[in-house]
Structure formats: C-alpha cells, structure tokens
Homo-oligomer: A and B are copies of this chain.
Amino acid sequence: MSRIRVGIVNVTGYIGMDLARLLHGHPGVELVSVTGRSAVGQKLGEAIPHLAGIDLTIASEPDRVDFVFTALPHGESAGPVATALEQGLKVVDIGADFRLKDAGEFERWYKVAHPAPGYLNEAVYGLVELNRSGIREARLVANPGCYPTGAILALAPALEDGLIEPDIVIDSKSGASGAGRTVTLTTHYAELNENVAAYALAGHRHLPEMVQELGRLAPSAGLSVTFVPHLIPMTRGILTTCYAKIKADRLPGGEDGKAYLAKLYADFYSGEPFVKVLTAPPQTKQAWGSNLCLVHPAVDAGTGRLVVISAIDNLVKGGAGQAVQNMNLMLGFPETAGLESLPVYP
C-alpha cells in the first residue's frame, strides 16, 4: 500500500523538528516535503544535523503532499492553512491561530486581528481524549498548546464529575524548549541554568484556551482559573500541579474518598493509549520523548483540597506527538501509529 504523503510547514522550530523525527518512523506516511522560514535550499541534515537520516531539501512551500502540518508562530498559519484546505488537503495546525473559537478573544490575547476567522467554526480542538469523534471528521484540527494539554487532562475527570469548586489554581513547571528556538537572554544557558522563575503573571496566552475547554466540560460552573507558568532548568517536560476545593459532601473521608477519586480517574481514562493514571506522583522524565500524559489525583489530607498532577513531554504530547495522534484519527490510521516508542530514561 502506498503511504500518505505528508509535509511540514516550518520544520526548523523545535516542534517542527520533533514532528519530522516522529513522521520518519511512522508506518503509514511518508514525509516528502519540509519548509522553513530560514534555511530554504539547504539539505535538512545541514540545517538540523540530527535529522540527517531524512533525505530532504528545505523548500519554501510544501509540494505534492496529501496532508500538511503547519508549525508557525501565531498569526502566520492562516495563509498556509487556507491554501492547503483549498487544495483539498487536511491540516493539523500546531500554532495558536485556530484554538480559540472566538476571534475577539484571539485578538484580545494575541494583539492582532484574527487572520482567518472564517475557518474558526470548523476547526476542531485537537485534544483527542476529549474530542475523538470530532477530530475523525475534521479537515482542520487545532493542535492544543502544551500547557493546556497537561492542565486539561489533569482536571477533566474532576470537572466533568462536578466534584470540585470552580476556583482553580494551575501551577506549571516547564522546560526551556517550550520557549522555542529563538535565542533570548531568558533562555541563555548561563542565565537559566541553576535558576527558576515564574513568568507571564499578567496572563499567559494559554489561559483562555484552558478556560474555553475546561468550560465545555462544566458549562455551568463559572470557572475562575489562575494559571502561573514557571521556567525551570531542563529541556523537555511540563509538570502541572492543579489545586481546587472539593465541593462539600461530595467525597467521603479517608480511604473511601481516595478510592472514589482513583476510580473516577481510572474510569475516565480507561482504554486511553496515552493517558496513564498513576498511584504515585509522576515525573516528567517518565514521559520523556513519548506521547504519554501521566496523571495522579490526590486529596490533601489536611484541607480536603484536590491536588492533581500531570506530566508530559511538551514537544510530544504537548506538540508533535499529539499532532501525529490527530493525523492518525483524521486519516484512519490506528491512533498509536508512529507513537509506540517508550519514553527514553534516564
């Protein structure tokens, strides 16, 4: 059987290059075209040495593909996405342009008018575990942001169950690759090594995405979400710790409460190939390089507060891997195709 021909728009960012790595090992597709904003005309292995095993030249436009991934900064996907859709291709957009359903909300957070509001309606938010059927039918999938992926998967079971009050605190710790490949003083090695800080206290762009999707799980809840991301000295991985008060009388005390909570989460993610509910706090390294999301729900004994922790590799489940997972559904492949590799540890 011939393989589906796929392309990557902007392979030179971290998610773009990790997507190339994953697609290279996918049994059902062939990566035939990669583009870059720089490095056009170079062999892929010259521009990105660890990809020397893929024999392609970086082009300015995707060429002769059946399916395309766009991995561009916000505001820049609209052109390539529209072109691809008009050519009858299916698209996973890894950027931010089609995640928020409301163009005004997009403009408020991204400070530019939405470049293609006409596609917002049909774009499907690509968090597979919550939206599998919609993704199967979609032409255009908006791949979730890295922070929302971990946060939403951590909170979804509790929210849908009505277990918690709507006041939620989300405290995330991210490796530096999430900040991208553009050099900055913040991500200069000598500055970030042996250092940790919070950022975006005035509001991170992933917050409205969390609120939108969490709100769909609990439409009447009136969510009030505080999200504070932190940059820590590592390359890959996001650990997200979520805090919310459990509603009065919703959870029995002691072991019965723990059992209820464990069952709630286990049932919610039963059969999911990539979300694993653990009985101990997860480490990001246990998901390193893989498409796994590890989730651990707990009750803080002293206060009765729910604490849920999730761990992902921000470039895989929080980026390239989730994009492949979406593509698999859109093209009718097994959901795990190309994503079976175990985490690399240590």
Q: How far is the CA of A237 from the CA of B303 in the complex (A)?
A: 27
Q: Are A344 and B342 in contact (CB under 8 A)?
A: no
A132 part of interface (Cβ distance < 8 Å): no
The stretch that binds B, out of A57-65, A66-74, A141-149, A190-198, is: A190-198
Given contacts A177-B346, A187-B189, A302-B226, contact A196 B232 (CB under 8 A): yes
Q: Are A203 and B341 in contact (CB under 8 A)?
A: no
When distances are taken between beta carbons in the complex, the residues of chain B under 8 Å from A283 are 49, 195-197
User: Chain B contacts of A21 at CB under 8 A?
Assistant: 341-345
A30 interface residue, CB < 8 Å from B?
no
A198 & B281 in contact (Cβ 8 Å cutoff): yes
Given contacts A225-B302, A340-B25, contact A185 B183 (CB under 8 A): yes
CA of A10 to CA of B145, assembled, Å: 40
Contact with B along A329-346 (1 / 0, CB 8 A): 000000000001111111
Report whether B241 and A230 are in contact in the complex, using a CB–CB cutoff of 8 Å: yes
Q: Interface on A for B, CB 8 Å cutoff?
A: 14, 17-18, 21, 24-25, 48-54, 167, 169, 171, 173, 175-177, 179, 181, 183-185, 187-199, 201-203, 207, 224-226, 228, 230, 232-237, 239, 241, 243, 245, 276, 278, 281-290, 298, 300-303, 305, 307, 309, 311, 340-346
